[in-house]
Amino acid sequence: METNQLLQLANEYGSPLYVYDGAKIELQYQRLEKAFNKVNSLKINYAVKALSNISILKLLKRLGSGLDTVSIQEVQLGLMAGFAPENIIYTPNGVSMEEIEEVAALGVQINIDNLSILEQFGAKHPTTPVCIRINPHVMAGGNSNISVGHIDSKFGISIHQMPHLLRIIENTGMHINGIHMHTGSDILDIEVFLYAAEILFKAATEFKELEFIDFGSGFKVPYKKDDIETNVEELGKKLSKRFNNFCKEYGRELTLCFEPGKFLVSEAGYFLAKVNVVKQTTSTVFAGIDSGFNHLMRPMLYGSYHHIENLSNIKGKERFYSIVGYICETDTFASNRRIAEINEGDILCFRNAGAYCFSMASNYNSRVRPAEVLWYENKAYLIRERETLDDIIRKQVIVDFETEPATI
């Protein structure tokens, strides 16, 4: 988006503010679709947890997307956005049998990732088709917090447990209609992805009633200049060919599914915050903004890099700054960054603020969460109001100790 547009939105809606560029979401969606246009049946299920605003879900629905969800609440948001239950897949980890049954009753596709629940679910609901999440144990991730393929990962049913898995299916008579993997965020290497896919293809031959194979996500997007991103065009070419061949061998046309979060929304997001104070210490110049890790947690949680620009002085001479938040705890967004000269009152813009930013925001320090604006077809839509103190105290039950009778 243009600098002036962003500044205007910050002016109109106040700061801090999340802005999403609908056209970029559309572009990424269509890019993935095009990369796999040689596959007869492709299904892209947007991973709701990346950015779960209902209006964003509605935009994705318009593009033809389905949803990947990890909680019953995400399923309910998807239904509110107008998605048909059959266009929602539910891929939880470590949730209760009761929640899984509740979601299955809504008609949503269930994806089970452990043998204990699989056995219980199959015994009680043998006619409900289930997808199974396989862990191929391929390390595709960059950051250990988000790599889910390693051998002691809590995700998925280990590929080494296939005999046990098959026995459960035989004993319960349940129907497996899909097989799934999600090898973790940040796939750098297409060859690694294809290697994991081979493990999944091999496992797939054990199931006779498959309708789809779900390759999860982990597409990498650039966060800084010269960052490597997943070449989805190359992946599309290679995986489509292999997938089509597999369908021939399997004897049935299957649907190829993906569930990208970051790829679809990361670059569409801009987080705008105002500089409250420029503080020169003996060694560092800090720029303190009207936000903190309560609003954008990724740098503190994962050490993630977010590119920061000074929208108020875009062409200014660059100097070194540490950008910090107002949370009373170490709250650093960037250390020693070259940014165009900053003055108090300037608006800073954090890039790649679409995925895992607002969705991880909290009220820590009793701060309200920011507003969200969707910029789409040359119009600004306020898609979430800025919170107020009322939102913070809404669920609090305030005890009046003076009138409360004493208990013994």
Ligand X SMILES: *Cc1c(COP(=O)(O)O)cnc(C)c1O
Nearest-CB residue for ligand X:
261
Helix (H) or strand (E) holding 180: strand 176-180
Do residues 124 and 103 lie in contact, with contact meaning Cβ atoms separated by under 8 Å? no
The correct pick among 243, 246, 263, 375 for binding ligand X (CB under 6 A) is 263
Residues 16-55: x where in contact with ligand X by CB under 6 A, - otherwise, as a string: -------------------------------x-xx-----
The smaller minimum CB distance to ligand X, of residues 263 and 326, is found at 263
CA separation for the pair 334, 285 (Å, rounded): 12
Helix (H, G, I), strand (E, B) or coil at 139: coil
Residue 47 C-beta: closest distance to ligand X, Å: 3
Helix (H, G, I), strand (E, B) or coil at 402: coil
CA separation for the pair 80, 57 (Å, rounded): 9
Q: Is 298 in the site for ligand X (CB under 6 A)?
A: no
Residue 402 C-beta: closest distance to ligand X, Å: 49
Looking at 191-199, 216-224, 239-247, 378-386, which segment touches ligand X (CB under 6 A)?
Answer: 216-224
Residue 327 C-beta: closest distance to ligand X, Å: 25
The smaller minimum CB distance to ligand X, of residues 259 and 331, is found at 259
Examine the residue annotation and report whether 131 is marked as an active-site residue of this protein: no
Question: 302 labelled as ligand-binding?
Answer: yes
Residues 104-133: x where in contact with ligand X by CB under 6 A, - otherwise, as a string: ------------------------------
The smaller minimum CB distance to ligand X, of residues 48 and 348, is found at 48
Question: 329 labelled as ligand-binding?
Answer: yes
Opening angle at CA 249, ends 247 and 255, nearest 5 = 10
The correct pick among 260, 288, 292, 354 for binding ligand X (CB under 6 A) is 260
The smaller minimum CB distance to ligand X, of residues 70 and 380, is found at 70
Residue 274 C-beta: closest distance to ligand X, Å: 29
Site for ligand X (CB under 6 A): how many residues?
A: 18
Q: What is the DSSP string of 67-115?
A: EEESSHHHHHHHHHTT--GGGEEE--SS--HHHHHHHHHTTPEEEE--H
Looking at 190-198, 210-218, 244-252, 291-299, which segment touches ligand X (CB under 6 A)?
Answer: 210-218
Given its phi and psi angles, is residue 164 left (phi above 0), alpha (psi -120 to 50 degrees) or beta?
alpha
Query: Helices (H) and strands (E) in the chain — how many of each?
Result: 12, 18
Q: Is 91 in the site for ligand X (CB under 6 A)?
A: yes
CA separation for the pair 308, 323 (Å, rounded): 9
The smaller minimum CB distance to ligand X, of residues 52 and 294, is found at 52
Helix (H, G, I), strand (E, B) or coil at 131: strand
Give the list of residues 6+ apart from residue 275 with CB closer than 8 angstroms, or none.
287, 288, 289, 290, 342, 343, 344, 345, 346, 347, 348
Q: Is 374 in the site for ligand X (CB under 6 A)?
A: no
Given its phi and psi angles, is residue 109 left (phi above 0), alpha (psi -120 to 50 degrees) or beta?
beta
Question: 242 labelled as ligand-binding?
Answer: no
Strand partners, 147: 184
Q: Which of residues 130-189 bind ligand X (CB under 6 A)?
A: 182, 185
Widest pairwise Cα distance in the chain: 76
Extract the annotated binding site for substrate.
298, 302, 329, 356
Catalytic residue numbers, as ranges = 328
Residues that bind ligand X (CB under 6 A): 47, 49-50, 68, 70, 91, 182, 185, 216-219, 259-263, 355
